[in-house]
Structure 1
Amino acid sequence: MSMGAAQAEQADAWEALRTGRAVLLLRHATAPGLGDPPGFVLEDCATQRNLNEAGRAEARRWGELLRDQGIDSPRLLSSRWCRALETAREMGIGDVEPLPLLDSFFARSGQADEQTRGLKAFLNDLPGGRPVIMVSHQVNITALTDVFPRSGEGVVLALPVSEPVRLLGRILPP
């Protein structure tokens, strides 16, 4: 793909996101490690793998990028894992709604199919017209899109979600 075609694709993805015809599904910002430590407790961030300072800065840059793209008051949903919630909060673009469908199933791979079906149904029930940003985890994004995003990478998905999912663009961590 030529540089001009890539820029046009990116511009189309941003426009679809701004107008509520797409959703941005973002992998949480940088949190060193893999999975969660033994004894992980959802309600206790001290037991989880969390963002480091680079991850918090990355999340703030996401907020700046979104505002630069005209997205300053989206519906902002997040996994209940602390690293995802912190990513969403650090963006500084609105109140964060925890959504269990975005929770990691890394340690519970048997839930992947059911949870992914539930997320597709949720996405297809979203009212149009308002940008939607979702912060989740690599395993969830890969199950939905077949994309293996790096920490802090986003994928823009066309709404309604089809089978297979229509990927409008990938946005690298800012």
Structure 2
Amino acid sequence: MWCSGLVIGLLILFMEAALADDAVAWQALREGRAILVMRHAFAPGLGDPPGFVLEDCKTQRNLNEQGRAEAQRWGVRLREAGLTGVRLFSSRWCRALETAEHMALAPVEPLPALDSFFASPVSEQSHTAALREAVGQLQPSEVAILVTHQVNITALTGIFPQSGEGLILELPLASPPRVLLRLAPP
């Protein structure tokens, strides 16, 4: 009997510590001491069709209704977390832009450093260096959200995120970045 009480007590302590860590991560994000890097919301398939055109969404893999609803829930979640005055950056791929637009947090700023290099893996290092440089140019205390692709997040952090997953990363970015919180899709 005392053993089950001990286990319950330890679980409660663990949960309280995890919640405290979550609160610290969210506070760092609100204060611009961290950034949120997220994979675009759900878009069925893998990669893009052959011959896709960046400027033509009809030629790309795009969000479906599930992905659009997921992006809207992200916006609600972030507003409820107290994020205001956000700079919202996105890859120029339509599924990332649409994710950012449906979040409805701020005007979307396309950022080529967030573009997918899935079809050109040899550009991984240059893309990741450009992303690090762009993050390094953020103003102190600037609240930033970056919507990108799995390959970009994996190259930066070593983590393979699911669609719609987000990572709060401590600033300045270490190598690899320190993950303060991993956020499942809402």
TM-score, normalisation: structure 1: 0.97
Name the one with the larger helix percent. Answer: 2
Structure 1 residue aligned with 2:94: 82
Task: Give the percent of matched residue pairs that are identical in Structure 1 and Structure 2.
Answer: 60
- RMSD between aligned residues: 1.1
Deviates more, 1:5-14 or 1:104-113: 5-14
Counterpart mapping for 1:48-63 below 5 A: 48-63=60-75
Deviant stretches of 4+, over 2 Å:
none
SS at 1:24 equivalent: strand
Structure 1 residue aligned with 2:18: 6
Structure 2 residue aligned with 1:15: 27
Q: What is the Cα deviation at residue 133 of structure 1?
A: 0.3
Give per-residue Cα distances to partners, 1:93-138, cap 9 Å, x unaligned: 1100000000000001000011101111221221011210000000
Amino acid at match of 1:124: G
Structure 2 residue aligned with 1:144: 156
Q: What is the Cα deviation at residue 162 of structure 1?
A: 1.2
Q: What is the Cα deviation at residue 163 of structure 1?
A: 1.6
Structure 2 residue aligned with 1:124: 136
Aligned length: 174
Q: What is the Cα deviation at residue 73 of structure 1?
A: 3.0
In 2, the alpha carbon distance for the partners of 1:73 and 1:38 equals 38
Deviates more, 1:21-30 or 1:114-123: 114-123
Give per-residue Cα distances to partners, 1:62-88, cap 9 Å, x unaligned: 000000011133000000000000000
In 2, the alpha carbon distance for the partners of 1:156 and 1:163 equals 15
In 2, the alpha carbon distance for the partners of 1:119 and 1:8 equals 30
Gaps of 5+ in 2: 1-10
Gaps of 5+ in 1: none
Structure 1 residue aligned with 2:3: none
Give per-residue Cα distances to partners, 1:2-50, cap 9 Å, x unaligned: 2222211111111000000000001000000000011110000000000
Structure 1 residue aligned with 2:6: none
In 2, the alpha carbon distance for the partners of 1:164 and 1:112 equals 15
Give the one of 48, 52, 65 matched to 2:77: 65
TM-score, normalisation: structure 2: 0.91
